[in-house]
Amino acid sequence: MKTSKTSSSKRDLLSIQDLSSLDIDRILGLASKLKKEHKAGRDRQLLRGKTLGMIFQKPSTRTRVSFEVGMYQMGGTAVYLSASEIQLARGETIEDTAKTLSGYLDCIMARVYDHTDVQKLATYAKIPVINGLSDAFHPCQILADLLTMKEHKKKLKGLKLAWLGDGDNVCNDLMLGCAKTGISMAAACPKGYEPTEEITRLARSEGAKTGAQITMGDDPAAAAKDADVIATDTFISIGKEGEWATRESVFIPKYQVNSEIMKLAKKDAIFMHCLPAKRGQEVTADVIDGPQSVVWDEAENRLHAQKAVLCFLMKTA
C-alpha cells in the first residue's frame, strides 16, 4: 500500500500506516496533555512562528476549524487555500504547487478527492504534508477516535470495535489504527462495499503484532455482539451523491445503528461517528443524541489530536 513517498529528512501523515505504534502512543499522550493544558487556560506556544497552509478541494467544517484554531492556540498561523482559488484551478501542477509552498510554509494540510494528489504533494514538498482527508484515508479522524476511546475506556489494547456500513476512507484508516493499538475490529459491510483486500491484509498483519483481531463480514449483529465501541459513517461520501438511490436500498435499514444494535454491544458501549451525520440513515436520533454517544467529544478531539500531530511533524514537542 502506498501512503507516504518521502525522504527520511521529514515526516508526513498520509495514512495511519505512516505511524508506528510508538508514534501513535506518543501523539495521543501529547494530545491528552495539550487538551488538559487548554482546559486549564495554559496553551503553550509550541508553534510560534510556524505557518500551516491548508488546501481544500472538498468542503469542511471540523477539519478547517480544528486546524485553524489549533494553530492559533499554539501561537502559529493557518492560511486557507481553496483549490478553486489558487493556481491549481488554472492548471498549475501539484508538483509545482508543492515546491512553491515549501518556500513559504512550515507544513501543508490537504483535503482532497484523489489520494494520489496528497501523495504528490508529499513527494515534492520539502515540508511535512498532512492528509486532511482523501478518498482512501482519514488519519486525523482516526487519531481523534483513538484519543476518544482512550478517554472513555481508559485503555485501547483489548477493546473490541464494531464498524457498521461502508468500507470507506474512515474504515480503512480505522482498521489500521485499531490494529496498531491492539483493538480488535469487526467490520460489517454490504457485499461490494468492503475495504480493499490490500488494506484488510495490511491491518491483519499489523494486528498480529499487537494481538488485535481484524474480521470482515456482512452481518451487523455478529459484529456488534459484545463490542465496546460501535462506529459508523455516512453511507454516501462526498463526491458519491449520485449513488444514493442504489446505496439507500443496500444500507438501510440493515446497516443502520439503532437501539437494537446497541443492545447487542456491552452495556457500557459507546457510539462514535466522524460527522456529519444523517439521522434516520446510518444512525437513529435516539442513538447519536443518546447517553452512549460520544460524538461531540470525538469532534472536539480533532482539535487536540491535530495539535499533537502538528507538533510531532514539525518537531516542536
The strand order across the sheet containing 51-56 reads 77-82, 51-56, 107-111, 129-133
Give 61's contacts (C-beta < 8 A, 6+ positions apart): 275, 276
Residue (of 91, 93, 84) closest to 111 by Cα position: 84
**Cβ atoms of 274 and 244 closer than 8 Å:** no
Longest dimension (CA), the chain: 55
Which domains occur in the chain, in start order?
Answer: 16-138+301-314 (3.40.50.1370), 141-298 (3.40.50.1370)
According to the model, what pLDDT value does residue 7 have? Answer: 44
pLDDT tens series, the chain, 317 aa: 545 544 458 999 999 999 999 999 999 999 999 999 999 999 999 999 999 999 999 989 999 999 999 999 999 999 999 998 899 878 899 999 999 999 999 999 999 999 999 999 999 999 999 999 999 999 999 999 999 999 999 999 999 999 999 999 999 999 999 999 999 999 999 999 999 999 999 999 999 999 999 999 999 999 999 999 999 999 987 777 788 888 999 999 999 999 999 999 999 999 999 999 999 999 999 999 999 999 999 999 999 999 999 999 999 99
Residues with active-site annotation: 111, 138, 141, 233, 274, 302
Query: Which H or E run includes 80?
Result: strand 77-82
Judging by DSSP bridges, how do beta strands 107-111 and 160-164 pair with one another? unpaired
pTM equals: 0.95
- Main-chain phi, psi angles of 118, to 5 degrees: -75, -30
Residues 107 and 127: beta-carbon distance below 8 Å: yes
Amino acid identity for residue 116 in this structure? T
**E strands in 140-283:** 160-164, 184-188, 214-217, 229-232, 270-273
* Edge-first strand listing for the sheet containing 214-217: 214-217, 184-188, 160-164, 229-232, 270-273
